[in-house]
Amino acid sequence: MKILGISAFYHDSAAALIDNGEIVAAAQEERFTRKKHDPGFPSNAVKFCLEYGGVSLNQLDAIVFYDKPLLKFERLLETYYAFAPKGIRSFITAMPVWIKEKMFLKRLINEELVKLGYDKKKPVKLLFPEHHLSHAASAYYPSAYEKAAILTIDGVGEWATASICLGEGKNISILKELRFPHSLGLLYSAFTYFLGFRVNSGEYKLMGLAPYGNPTSPDVDRYVDIMLKELIELKEDGSVWLNQEYFDYATGLKMVNEHKWEALFGFKKRNPEDTLEQEHCNLGLAIQRVTEEAVVRMAKEAKRLTGADYLCMAGGVALNCVANGKLQKENIFKEVFIQPAAGDAGGALGAAQAAYHIYFGQERTITWQSDAMHGSYLGPTFSDLEVELTAKKYQAVYTYYADFKDLCKDTARLLDAGNVVGWVQGRMEFGPRALGGRSILGDPRNSEMQKKLNLKIKYRESFRPFAPSVLAEDCAEYFDYGGISPYMLLVHPVAESRRKALPAGYDSLDLREKLYFLRSDLPSITHIDYSARIQTVHKETNPRYWELINAFKDLTGYGVVVNTSFNVRGEPIVSTPNDAYRCFMRTEMDYLVVGNYIFDKRQQPEWQEKDNWQEEFVLD
């Protein structure tokens, strides 16, 4: 039984194909169109999934869209009615789009499928599970648990903004929901907006900014008190009630009432490229603390309702790695599994799985040890021919290695010498994290690596931290964590033995003064609070990446490297050898490794394309 899942028309459109319950392929549309968070119909992702699965649209048993558009339209109408006459401008803006397109989504989907060769005379069943059921299914069905609590938290689906479910066997039961306009995800996005980052894109920046807040400052506690007195009522079960006098997202064209927020917190909304001041950092730390407390309380409620030993998580808030790390330390559950494509892209996969197990009633048989995501390496791959054609196109100079182990040894030497290396291997990752398939790598011991990667390679804010990729078997040697974290979704501290003492008065220093202080013997992956967003690399799921890190360990004694996504600011992660070479040549990256080929920047012909990536990509 072959089922295609689709998510589209909001952000992070994607497609996923399952065959008799097994995940065959999944990819985001942005990787093909080169438009970050592309919301359009995922034509390219659908084509890839079908080609990889060797199936045509009319051979499918079902095509499944990740939410119910008419229920979402009902929420829109009821919200405008409840807030009337407020929101008339937003209503006039939104209604024509809904009436023209989204009200008739079934027809629109069929029209897009016809362009891809779909024959309407031989119709395939088209299904629409609810948004949070798609999230829940994406987390539970690939997990290794026979029975698990499921927690989904995001901005909003149709009405639900968070849900607690029970997964047991092939079934998912929804036990409790938080409903719009009250939403932990929208609350976090409101602070993302107020602090000058893009909503539905910059939330991870806010998470990275929070540790620069001064934990000893009375301002942090004051901001938390203001939030809990004026903006939010945080209930015992983790649900939130938001005071809509301060928010505009329900009926307005922006997230918050800026005038009221500025009066509340005592400073103006930050513009995107403004200097980050300590007050911004302190506010970021305050909302991160509130978010973490809400997530932990929701998890405790999930435990109370289900009695389950295991927890599965999805939804955009499940990408908050710091909150995930705090939740794990609470030991509420024996284990936690987080869907690596936890946002809307993962809804495509969950929709297909929900149809398979719930609509078609197919049994769930667990044949895997950790999870069924295949390391999240579910996207397109490439051949040697494609690499050579790319080289021919740009008259690029390369060295080919017949023995991959020799390539790894030489790449390890390049990293040890302080070089930045683009690393493209095998199938592309599904989800927002680069996991060693489409990555940029560096030496974590190098005190200048964070600065170099941020300012000369990624062209992004200097405060942004970088993640370590560590051999799974060596994780406890470097970090205060001995478990697994294959999807870079958990933050844990660097081991005490590797830390360097902070100077007196460190907490009172400003962001710029704190930034490049050496905090450990792994300075480029140790965040300001001694934390790290860990990826454990497993030989079973990514043998080529494991081989490289192992070669680096043989050379240096360190089984860990710096890993960041292969892109510049505002660009989607690269997919093809062509994408990789263009990004390589438009940055100050030193070497590019694609498959068994190494490209040395010094040997390449002058870059002839006079393009400007800062104009091509919208800065996020």
For 104-108, 377-381, 550-554, which range has the lowest pLDDT when averaged over its residues? 104-108
Q: What is the pLDDT of residues 371-428, one digit of tens each?
A: 999 999 999 999 999 999 999 999 999 999 999 999 999 999 999 999 999 999 999 9
Q: How far apart are CA 269 and CA 279, in angstroms?
A: 11
Q: What is the mean pLDDT of residues 511-536?
A: 88
Percentage of the residues of the chain whose pLDDT score is greater than 90? 81
Task: Establish how many alpha carbons lie within 13 A of residue 620's alpha carbon, considering only the half-sphere containing its beta carbon.
Answer: 20
> How does DSSP classify residue 421?
E
**10 Å Cβ neighbour count for 456?**
12
Per-residue pLDDT, 81? 66
Q: Which residue has the tokens 């939104």?
A: 94
**Is the pLDDT confidence value at 359 over 90?**
yes
Mean pLDDT over all residues of the chain? Answer: 93
**10 Å Cβ neighbour count for 189?**
26
Per-residue pLDDT, 24? 98
**Is the pLDDT confidence value at 101 over 70?**
no
Q: What is the mean pLDDT of residues 333-344?
A: 97
Dig out the tokens for 370 from the structure: 């950790």
**Is the pLDDT confidence value at 183 over 90?**
yes
Q: What is the pLDDT of residues 113-150, one digit of tens each?
A: 999 999 999 999 999 999 999 999 999 999 999 999 99
Q: How far apart are CA 167 and CA 152, in angstroms?
A: 12
Per-residue pLDDT, 615? 59
DSSP helix/strand/coil, 336: strand
In the chain, how long is the greatest CA-to-CA distance? Answer: 75
pTM of the complete model: 0.95
Q: What is the mean pLDDT of residues 304-317?
A: 98
CA dihedral in degrees (76, 82, 88, 93; nearest 10)? 0
Per-residue pLDDT, 542? 96
Q: Residue 211's closest CA among 22, 42, 463?
A: 463
Q: What is the mean pLDDT of residues 89-111?
A: 76
Dihedral (CA of 140, 143, 148, 150) sign: negative
Q: How far apart are CA 242 and CA 183, in angstroms?
A: 8
Q: What is the pLDDT of residues 56-66, one digit of tens each?
A: 999 999 999 99
Per-residue pLDDT, 610? 62
Per-residue pLDDT, 102? 65
Instruction: With beta carbons less than 8 A apart as the criterion, state whether 180 and 161 touch.
Output: yes
> Model confidence at 613, in pLDDT bands (50, 70, 90)?
low
Q: How far apart are CA 323 and CA 333, in angstroms?
A: 15
* Residues facing 492 on adjacent strands: 532
Q: What is the mean pLDDT of residues 448-452?
A: 88
* Residues facing 377 on adjacent strands: 429
> Model confidence at 508, in pLDDT bands (50, 70, 90)?
confident
Q: How far apart are CA 345 and CA 188, in angstroms?
A: 19
Amino acid sitting at position 397: V
Per-residue pLDDT, 450? 87
Alpha-helical segments (H) within 88-217: 88-100, 105-115, 131-140, 184-194, 203-209
> Model confidence at 100, in pLDDT bands (50, 70, 90)?
low
> Model confidence at 614, in pLDDT bands (50, 70, 90)?
low
List Cβ neighbours of 201 (8 Å cut-off, separation of 6 or more).
36, 37, 620
Q: Residue 425's closest CA among 601, 596, 599?
A: 596
- What stretch of H or E contains 547? helix 543-556
**Is the pLDDT confidence value at 345 over 70?**
yes
Q: How far apart are CA 188 and CA 207, in angstroms?
A: 10
Dig out the tokens for 393 from the structure: 């196109």
**10 Å Cβ neighbour count for 59?**
12
Q: What is the pLDDT of residues 218-260, one digit of tens each?
A: 999 999 999 999 999 999 999 999 999 999 998 877 899 999 9
> Model confidence at 612, in pLDDT bands (50, 70, 90)?
low
**Is the pLDDT confidence value at 26 over 60?**
yes
For 320-324, 472-476, 518-522, 547-551, which range has the lowest pLDDT when averaged over its residues? 518-522
Q: How, if at all, do strands 62-65 and 2-7 pair?
A: parallel
**Is the pLDDT confidence value at 90 over 80?**
no
Q: How is 352-402 classified by DSSP, letter by letter?
A: HHHIIIIIS--------SSBSSGGGB-S----HHHHHHHHHHHT---EE-S
Q: How far apart are CA 439 and CA 422, in angstroms?
A: 6
Q: Which residue has the higher pLDDT, 392 or 514?
A: 392
Extended beta strands in 373-513, E state: 399-400, 421-424, 438-442, 467-471, 490-493
Instruction: With beta carbons less than 8 A apart as the criterion, state whether 46 and 2 touch.
Output: no
Q: Which residue ranges form the domains of the chain, and what is each CATH number?
A: 1-138+343-372 (3.30.420.40), 143-338 (3.30.420.40), 384-616 (3.90.870.20)
